Amino acid sequence: MTLSPPLPPRDGVHYRACNLCEAICGLRITVQGGQVTDVRGDPDDPLSRGHICPKGAALPDLHADPDRLKTPMRRDGDTWHPMSWDDALDLVARRLRGVQAAHGPDSVATFQGNPSVHNSGTLLTAGAFLKALGTRNRYSATSTDQLPHHYAAAEMFGHPLLLPIPDVDRTDFLLMLGANPLASNGSILTAPGMRERLRAIRDRGGRVVLLDPRRTESAAHVSEYHPIRPGSDALFLMALLHVILSEGLARPGRLADVTDGLEDLHDVAAPYTPEAVQAATGVPAATTRDLARAFARAP
Ligand code: SF4
């Protein structure tokens, strides 16, 4: 297999999407003399509306970095030698097969970084490669930060990718536990420009509530911030459920026909009064009751 070197970019203005994170901001890229001279947010992008973060703005530095790897490198003692893609792929395939033949399929592990989800080549080929590899030791950005969401989605909705996300641009009450959208750029939500989106909720009379053990960057952009003890989110959520169910505030509406076990939930949530969990969560019972009622009554 021979890979041709990429052609230099054409001079002019190019519109692309940043593939560094799932905010997928629209970019306006200027090329002059074959060099990227400017990258900025595209104000006409319907999703990101001109938003760009420092990582996106630094893409030209990444592109032109003299230390950027453009060919596989093989370490020999303390030195590194460039090698061809053909030789590199043969070497990796031979070594992987050797390790697995000697120690079993699970003796190798994989890790996929976040941008691999935003690369069409990786997206198309990684699944087949991982299946052929046959190891159960597969790690990724998902396994380090969002697998509980996928697990809950699979249990509740039947598929790990049926992830419910808040409708940030229309909601009137946004409750966040441990989320730091100013830093994550709305990860999972694919909602770049969260600073403006949070402000818009407050501007239309809504309420943005953040619970986090740490007063994060996002805390300055919410209606109210409440510290919570680390590891106690589940207790706080059970107390919310307790208030909503015991005070008859649940409105399952058309979802009632497709919901199982709501009565069981009443029994499960019964012991978790806000008063019973406040010592563990550090959230005053009155605050929990207020949040539960406001959350349930939000339009
Ligand atoms: S938030 Fe930053 S890294 Fe993420 S897509 Fe936008 S510019 Fe790229």
Mind spelling out the 3-state secondary structure of 121-188?
HHHHHHHHHHHHHCCCCEEEHHHHHCHHHHHHHHHHHCCCCCCCCCCCCCCCEEEEECCCHHHHCCCC
**Pair 279, 182 in one domain:** yes
**Pair 224, 119 in one domain:** no
The DSSP secondary structure of 204-245, one letter per residue, reads TT-EEEEE-SS--GGGGGSSEEE---TT-HHHHHHHHHHHHH
7 lies in some domain: no
Mean pLDDT of the chain: 92
**Pair 112, 195 in one domain:** no
Q: What is the mean pLDDT of residues 172-201?
A: 90
Write out the two tokens for 38.
């400017």
6 lies in some domain: no
- What ipTM, to 2 d.p.? 0.99
54 lies in some domain: yes
Q: CB–CB of 34/51 below 8 Å?
A: no
**Pair 228, 278 in one domain:** yes
Give the up-direction half-sphere exposure of residue 185: CA atoms within 13 A in the CB hemisphere.
Answer: 18
**Pair 223, 185 in one domain:** yes
pLDDT digits (tens, 9 = 90+) for 20-68: 888 889 999 999 998 899 999 999 999 899 999 999 999 999 888 999 9
**Pair 121, 37 in one domain:** no
3 lies in some domain: no
**Pair 184, 284 in one domain:** yes
How many A from CA of 50 to the centre of ligand 1?
11
Q: What pLDDT, on a 0 to 100 scale, did the predictor assign at position 228?
A: 98
163 lies in some domain: no
Q: CB–CB of 272/283 below 8 Å?
A: no
Q: What pLDDT, on a 0 to 100 scale, did the predictor assign at position 20?
A: 86
Q: What pLDDT, on a 0 to 100 scale, did the predictor assign at position 295?
A: 95
**Pair 232, 272 in one domain:** yes
Q: What pLDDT, on a 0 to 100 scale, did the predictor assign at position 18?
A: 92
Q: What pLDDT, on a 0 to 100 scale, did the predictor assign at position 145?
A: 76
Q: Which of 118, 141, 164 is the last residue of a domain?
A: 141
- Is there an atom of ligand 1 within 6 Å of 25 CB? yes
- Is there an atom of ligand 1 within 6 Å of 243 CB? no
Choosing from 52, 62, 194, 196 the residue with most ligand 1 atoms within 8 A of its CB, the one to mutate for a pocket test is 52
- Is there an atom of ligand 1 within 6 Å of 59 CB? no
How many A from CA of 25 to the centre of ligand 1?
6
**115/130 Cα distance (integer angstroms):** 17
267 lies in some domain: yes
- Is there an atom of ligand 1 within 6 Å of 49 CB? no
- Is there an atom of ligand 1 within 6 Å of 192 CB? yes
Q: Which of 98, 118, 141 is the last residue of a domain?
A: 141
How many A from CA of 111 to the centre of ligand 1?
21
Q: What pLDDT, on a 0 to 100 scale, did the predictor assign at position 216?
A: 96
**Pair 288, 181 in one domain:** yes
Say which residue the tokens 């009379």 belong to. Answer: 205
Closest CA to 206 of 113, 109, 297: 297
pLDDT digits (tens, 9 = 90+) for 69-106: 989 999 999 999 999 999 999 999 999 999 999 999 99
**Pair 192, 291 in one domain:** yes
**Pair 96, 38 in one domain:** no
158 lies in some domain: no
- Is there an atom of ligand 1 within 6 Å of 24 CB? yes
Least confident of 171-185, 237-251, 278-292: 171-185
How many A from CA of 160 to the centre of ligand 1?
25
Q: Which domain holds residue 26?
A: 12-64
159 lies in some domain: no
**Pair 224, 253 in one domain:** yes
Please give the share of the chain, as a percent, with pLDDT higher than 70.
98
State the total domains in the chain.
Answer: 3
Give the up-direction half-sphere exposure of residue 191: CA atoms within 13 A in the CB hemisphere.
Answer: 17
- Is there an atom of ligand 1 within 6 Å of 53 CB? yes
Closest CA to 176 of 204, 142, 217: 217
**115/95 Cα distance (integer angstroms):** 26
